[in-house]
Amino acid sequence: MSVLATCLQLNVFVACAAAAVTWTATPFNPASIPLAVRSPYLSAWLNQGSGTALNADWPRFWTGSILGWAGFIKVDGTAYNFLGTPSVPSVSFQKSVQKSMTFTSTQSTFVMTSGPIDLTVNFLSPVEPTDLVKQSLPLSYLTLTATSTDGKSHSVQVYTDISAEWVTGDDSLTANWSTTVGSTLVHQVQLEDQTPFGEVSDRIQQGSAYYATTAASGTTYQTGQDIVVRAQFVNNGTLANTQDKNFRAVDDDWPVFAFAHDLGTVSGTSSPITIAVGHVRDPAVEYIVAGGNIQDRSLFFWSQFSSVGAAISSFLGDFSSALSRANTFDAKVQTDATAISSDYAGLVALSMRQAFGATEITASRNSDGSINTSDILMFMKEISSDGNVNTVDVIFPSWAIWLYTNPALGKYLLLPLFEYQATGQYPNKWAVHDMGASYPKALGHNDGNDEMMPLEESGNMLIMTLSYIQKSGDQSLITSYYNLLDQWTQFLIAEALIPANQISTDDFAGALPNQTNLAIKGIVGIKAMSEIASLAGNSSVASNYSSIAASYVTQWQDFATSKTGPHLTLNYGNDSSWGLSYNLYGDKLLGLNLFPESVYQMQTAWYSSHNNSFGVPLDTRHTYTKSDWSILSAAISTTTAVRDLFISAVHKYAADGESSQPLGDWYETLDGSVEGFRARPVVGGHLALLALQTADAKLESSAAASPTSLISPDPSVITVKASNGASRRASRWSL
């Protein structure tokens, strides 16, 4: 049982008391449970607060807007609602009772007791880091399995539908739809007026939602008004195999797209019924290339499929393999993270789909329309803080998840930024902040007026580049972009030691000159370029930059150490100020050992005595903190006690039952209340300890980084070289 805060509102006074949800929650009840989370536009969640059953609210998009997704089960003629909160006038049904909720990295599973039948409702959003075709398919599974709990036989039928709310941020717009009947049954729905690359309230106004299942005897379908179609099932147990052709607004007699499955007589456990839900558009992203030309890019799965229908059939047919891959993946993550702590394992599992779900893997098309499989770029939507494309200081906090699951994904995230800046269209000498203000338009910033974080982003690019090279052994970024990397380093050499008045990634905290933590990032960046120059065979540049970095560290220690307390300052000269110096993580990740161990020890000791109820504040300007930076701080703590202090604080916040939205990374340390962010991919940084554990494993072979090996059957074993020089074989994700 998970014990959660329940708040009773009594007029002006709010009382909170510990109470138990009525179901088992494993590992805990988070602020929101991922249901179908695979892309910025396939993002369905069940918001929790102090605990919300699967049939006590509608699934919602990450913004909070409703995604109609309803489910009923009939047991010996009695109907129960197990998913969503449909009201169907003039028919009677009961509510299933939630018995348990379990989440892993890829799955959320609910057991819904419906009279003598326990219905297991499994939502699987695959995470396929080494298979770009599968990872780029914006489809998710819903699987239903019925189990008799009284040892008797029961007649069981199940029903689910989605509404047209899955295709727009404006329910007054007109949708149309069709149902394809064949070996696969596919409902397809879209806006009649499509807006390529256009969003309304963060929902793409382009492409189609799909709801599909394998045709079998006892499987029926229907489209039509919500209360009509649902009543048909509740009354009858089957659907009419009819299509409503009266195309209309999403909210005009709410059209729904439904399937019913007759499970027949269930005495033990039924065969699973699997349904695919998805949202697909093509082209997916527009992207600026040389000379201001705009390129349309498609999701990578098109390299293998010529139609969405073919992709859906393959996806449904692959379910049992997908489930077994997912179970293997979940178990590996669980084992690795549990080696730190069980609190940590829960946090990592909760973060996985959220981070992957902000990204899309794309390729350009050749002139004949085929996919150019050598041109792979991954795009990331910043989500909720704004809609920027491939924000460098959002990729940076998320970085650990790509290193841990497949470093090549990190390269595909960095490549658009490198390619764009190599065209010479970006006018500033520092690294650009992002690839475009509004996803999915990666149109660059030729006017140079992107959000200005010059030290932050220049340091980030250098650190992530070297980190990728160390993990993958692939030096192609050096070969192609040495000049850009060196240009950003020149900027850091000029600006990092005495940082001008500017913002860091924590822009909500405002600008400040001489930020200690920003200087760390810049100095680590310079040292990273020294390593890169060395790899490029330029030992004179390598030794020059290395000695500059070392001399900056010495000077920085003098500027940045408080004269009155044993801690680093937030900004030089303000002895009472301090903050999380999470940029030291780069020093550890890259194995540079640039900053003295005494600095890590001093900070660790300081944090241990500045712990609020929900963790250590980000800095002395406010009492809020960031979950990602807290976990990076945990990763570089010199004691297990302080490492665990950070982890348990973030875990306590994530499980506190106070917020009801996909996990927010910015929150209050005094009471655990969430600040303005939600659903951001920066939670990939919660894997910081996992990425660091293998930081000394430098890949010798570049095989794992090459696109062909990623999608070929056997990248399962690669050779790695430990920091002591010994080669060993490391097992990777098996396919």
The token pair that represents 320 in the structure block: 């049992």
Q: Which of 544, 568, 566 is nearest to 556 (CA)?
A: 568
The reply on whether position 238 binds ligand NAG by CB under 6 A is: yes
- Single out the segment in contact with ligand NAG by CB under 6 A; choices: 211-219, 232-240, 687-695, 703-711: 232-240
Q: Out of 155, 235, 314, 561, name the contact with ligand NAG by CB under 6 A.
A: 235
Q: Determine if 240 is a binding residue for ligand NAG (CB under 6 A).
A: yes
Work out the burial of residue 428: count CB atoms within 10 Å of its CB; fewer than 13 is exposed, 13-18 middle, 19 or more buried. Answer: middle
Task: Enumerate residues 6+ apart whose C-beta is below 8 A from 597.
Answer: 638
Within positions 645 to 664, which residues make up the interface with ligand NAG, using CB under 6 A? 645
Which lies closer to ligand NAG via its Cβ, residue 47 or residue 517? 517
Q: Is 314 in contact with 447 (CB distance < 8 Å)?
A: no
Give the 3-state secondary structure of residue 214: strand
Of residues 231 and 717, the one with the C-beta less far from ligand NAG = 231
Pick from 192, 265, 321, 696 the residue near ligand NAG by CB under 6 A.
192
Query: How many whole angstroms separate alpha carbon 430 and alpha carbon 383?
Result: 24
555 binds ligand NAG (CB under 6 A): no
546 lies in the site for ligand NAG, by CB under 6 A: no
Q: From the CB of residue 544, how many other CB atoms can be counted at a distance below 10 Å?
A: 15
Phi/psi-derived region of residue 478, left when phi > 0, alpha when psi is between -120 and 50, beta in every other case: alpha
235/709 with CB nearer ligand NAG: 235
When asked if residue 487 is in the footprint of ligand NAG (CB under 6 A), the reply is: no
Q: Which one of 164, 256, 541, 553 is in contact with ligand NAG (CB under 6 A)?
A: 541
Q: Residues 411, 507, 442, 686: what is their CA dihedral angle, to the nearest 10 degrees?
A: 40
Q: Among the candidate windows 11-19, 148-156, 190-198, 596-604, which touches ligand NAG by CB under 6 A?
A: 190-198
For position 544 contacting ligand NAG by CB under 6 A, the verdict is yes
* Helix H or strand E encompassing 587: helix 584-589
273: three-class secondary structure by DSSP: strand
* Interface residue with ligand NAG, options 5, 478, 498, 717 (CB under 6 A): 498
Under the criterion CB under 6 A, does residue 611 sit at the interface with ligand NAG?
yes
Nearer to ligand NAG, 332 or 621 (CB): 621
Stretch that binds ligand NAG, among 353-361, 568-576, 630-638, 713-721 (CB under 6 A): 568-576
Q: 23 Cβ partners below 8 Å, 6+ apart? A: 51, 53, 98, 99, 100, 101
Region binding ligand NAG by CB under 6 A among candidate stretches 89-97, 107-115, 231-239, 273-281: 231-239
Binding status of residue 598 toward ligand NAG by CB under 6 A:
no
Per CB under 6 A, the list member of 613, 640, 712, 716 interacting with ligand NAG is 613
The whole-angstrom separation of Cα 156 and Cα 146 is 8
- The one among 538, 557, 638, 709 contacting ligand NAG by CB under 6 A: 538
Among candidates 398, 326, 348, which has minimal Cα distance to 135? 326
Helix (H) or strand (E) holding 18: strand 13-20
Among 112, 288, 349, 493, binds ligand NAG (CB under 6 A): 493
- In the chain, helix, strand, coil percent, each to 5? 35, 30, 35
Hunting for tokens 């995604």 — which residue is that? 67
Closer CB to ligand NAG, residue 231 or residue 697?
A: 231
CB-wise, 142 or 548, nearer to ligand NAG?
548
248 binds ligand NAG (CB under 6 A): no
Closest approach of Cβ 523 to ligand NAG, in Å? 14
Count of residues in contact with ligand NAG, rule CB under 6 A: 35
Please report whether residue 374 would count as binding ligand NAG according to CB under 6 A: yes
d(CA 27, CA 656): 13
The answer to the question of residue 490 lying near ligand NAG (CB under 6 A) is yes
Closest approach of Cβ 711 to ligand NAG, in Å? 16
User: Using CA atoms, how far apart are residues 400 and 556, in angstroms rounded to an integer?
Assistant: 27
The answer to the question of residue 711 lying near ligand NAG (CB under 6 A) is no
Q: Which strand (E) or helix (H) includes residue 525?
A: helix 516-535
Nearer to ligand NAG, 22 or 424 (CB): 424
Q: According to the binding rule CB under 6 A, does residue 514 interact with ligand NAG?
A: yes
**CA 675 to chain centroid:** 19
User: Is 706 among the residues that bind ligand NAG (CB under 6 A)?
Assistant: no
CB count in 10 Å sphere of residue 93: 18
**Within positions 118 to 177, which residues make up the interface with ligand NAG, using CB under 6 A?**
176
Task: Name the one range near ligand NAG by CB under 6 A: 144-152, 164-172, 537-545, 688-696.
Answer: 537-545
Count CA within 13 A, CB hemisphere, residue 450.
30
CB 654 within 8 Å of CB 350: yes
Q: How far is the CB of 190 from ligand NAG (least distance, A)?
A: 6
Q: Quick one: how far is CA 270 from the chain centroid?
A: 33
Q: Which stretch binds ligand NAG (CB under 6 A): 14-22, 301-309, 366-374, 448-456?
A: 366-374
Q: Which stretch binds ligand NAG (CB under 6 A): 189-197, 258-266, 421-429, 439-447?
A: 189-197
In angstroms, rounded to a whole number, what is the distance separating the alpha carbons of residues 187 and 210?
A: 6
- Scanning 141-149, 164-172, 372-380, 472-480 for contacts with ligand NAG by CB under 6 A, the matching segment is 372-380
Q: Which of residues 375-394 bind ligand NAG (CB under 6 A)?
A: 375
Q: Concatenate the DSSP letters of all residues of 541-576 into one string.
A: HHHHHHHHHHHHHHHHHHHHB-SSSSSB-SBTT-TT
Which of 218, 292, 448, 513 touches ligand NAG (CB under 6 A)? 513
- 438 burial type by CB count under 10 A (0-12 exposed, 13-18 middle, 19+ buried): middle
Indicate whether 219 belongs to the interface with ligand NAG (CB under 6 A).
Answer: no
Span of 52-60, 395-403, 458-466, 534-542 interacting with ligand NAG by CB under 6 A: 534-542
Element (H, E) at 641: helix 640-654
Among the residue ranges 132-140, 437-445, 460-468, 539-547, the one whose residues contact ligand NAG (CB under 6 A): 539-547
- Decide if residue 620 touches ligand NAG (CB under 6 A): yes
Residue 366 or 623: which CB sits closer to ligand NAG?
A: 366
For residues 625 and 674, the answer to whether their CB atoms sit within 8 Å is no
Residue 731, burial from CB neighbour count under 10 angstroms (0-12, 13-18, 19+): exposed
Report the nearest approach of ligand NAG to the CB of residue 58 (Å). Answer: 25
Give yes or no for residue 572 binding ligand NAG (CB under 6 A): yes
Part of the chain binding ligand NAG (CB under 6 A), chosen from 250-258, 287-295, 371-379, 681-689: 371-379
Nearest approach, Cβ of 697 to ligand NAG (angstroms)? 29
Peptide bond into 40 cis (omega under 30): no
- Least spacing, CB of residue 318 vs ligand NAG, in Å: 28
State the Cα–Cα distance between residues 45 and 318, nearest whole angstrom: 24
CB closer to ligand NAG, 176 vs 702: 176
Q: Does the footprint of ligand NAG cover residue 559 (CB under 6 A)? A: yes
Pull the structure tokens for residue 180. 């394809």
570 lines the binding site for ligand NAG (CB under 6 A): yes
The structure tokens listed for 70 are 């309803």
Q: Which residues contact 116 (CB under 8 A, 6 or more apart)?
A: 75, 76, 148, 149, 150, 152, 154
- Applying CB under 6 A, the span of 136-144, 453-461, 572-580, 693-701 interacting with ligand NAG comes to 572-580
Residues that bind ligand NAG (CB under 6 A): 176, 178, 190, 192, 194, 235-236, 238, 240, 366, 372, 374-375, 490, 493, 498, 513-514, 538, 540-541, 544, 559, 570, 572-574, 576-577, 611, 613, 620-621, 641, 645
